[in-house]
Structure 1
Amino acid sequence: MRLTSFTDFGLRALMWLAGDPERVFTTDEIAQAFGISRNHLTKVIRELAAAGVVTTQRGAGGGFRLARSADDITLGEIVRLLEARSALVECFRADGGACALTPGCRLKGKLKAAREAFLCELDRTTLAECAYPASGKAPPKPVAA
């Protein structure tokens, strides 16, 4: 299952927060550390805050941090939350899509089972297990292929 950049950015930010859970981080700080769009990250953080995964503070000294212990947040929860807006395939959309292969398609059931197996595995992994170690340094920048 391919994750959207929305989910990718969310997971990276949460891994960073989990490495130093008492600290408040700014969107600028995280976006710069990962070399990602601040505006896009802001949307991700807004969604995580609405779901109660992070808390936000406005004003001087503001930013965001985990709302719950990283031990209580599973990767499956986060992926479900952040991927809810994009269907894996058209027929998984809330409106059922308009695929010409429906209702005789034999692929949908296989994709659904694979998606559930993927998410089930992520349900077994907590954010704490994937926390980026708190070192005071930014994570290494990705190397271009």
Structure 2
Amino acid sequence: MRLTVYSDYALRLMMYLGLRRDGLSTIDDVAAAYGISKAHLMKITHDLGRKGLIETVRGRQGGMRLAERASSIRVGDIVRACEPDFALVPCMEAEGGSGCAVLPACVLKRALATAAAAFLDVLDGYTLEDLVGPTVALRQLLGIETSEPLQNPAPNY
């Protein structure tokens, strides 16, 4: 299984916002920190805002922040919000994958669906708070300065 670049950027954006608990961040901030496209981030920001994962504030002093506490946002929910589907093979697509001779008796389709569900179950075991657990190191690597005390919260395992 492979996630799209869209999901990768969305996860990075969410992690950045999880590290910046003390205020708003801009697309420019995130793009500069990761060295990724502002145009892609604008689309992702818009979509995540529509889906309720982040809040956006317009205007000169605007930006974005998490819509909920990082500890209540599951990684699986972020991935589900970003990926169009988890059809690992054509027969799992909504159209039904016509053309497969063994589809009526196929066990592979069920096995792949079970694997995709297990993948999401594992991601649901992690929150955004877990991903930003090494707070000090991540903030330093991303060049995030904040007035908030730098602490590494205990992981929620």
Task: Calculate the TM-score normalised by the size of structure 1.
Answer: 0.84
Instruction: Could you tell me which runs of 5 or more consecutive residues in structure 2 were left unpaired when the two chains were aligned.
Output: 144-157
Whether the aligned pair in 1 keeps the contact of 2:91 and 2:100 (CA below 8 Å) is: no
- Report the equivalent of 2:147: none
Whether the aligned pair in 1 keeps the contact of 2:87 and 2:93 (CA below 8 Å) is: yes
- Report the equivalent of 1:133: 135
Whether the aligned pair in 1 keeps the contact of 2:17 and 2:25 (CA below 8 Å) is: yes
Write the letter of the residue equivalent to 1:46: H
Distance 1:111 1:85, change over 3 A: closer
Write the letter of the residue equivalent to 1:122: L
Aligned length: 140
Instruction: Could you tell me which runs of 5 or more consecutive residues in structure 1 were left unpaired when the two chains were aligned.
Output: 141-145
1: distance between equivalents of 2:96 and 2:83?
A: 17
Write the letter of the residue equivalent to 1:9: Y
2: distance between equivalents of 1:62 and 1:100?
A: 51
- Asked which structure has the greater CA Rg, the reply is 2
RMSD (Å) for aligned C-alpha atoms: 2.1
Q: Does 1:52 align with 2:52?
A: yes
2: distance between equivalents of 1:21 and 1:98?
A: 48
Task: Calculate the TM-score normalised by the size of structure 2.
Answer: 0.79
Whether the aligned pair in 1 keeps the contact of 2:74 and 2:125 (CA below 8 Å) is: yes
Write the letter of the residue equivalent to 1:77: D
Q: Does 1:94 align with 2:94?
A: yes
Give aligned-pair identity as a percent: 40
| Alpha-carbon displacement from aligned partner over 1:35-84 (angstroms, at most 9, x marks no partner) | 11111111111111111100001111111110101111000111111113
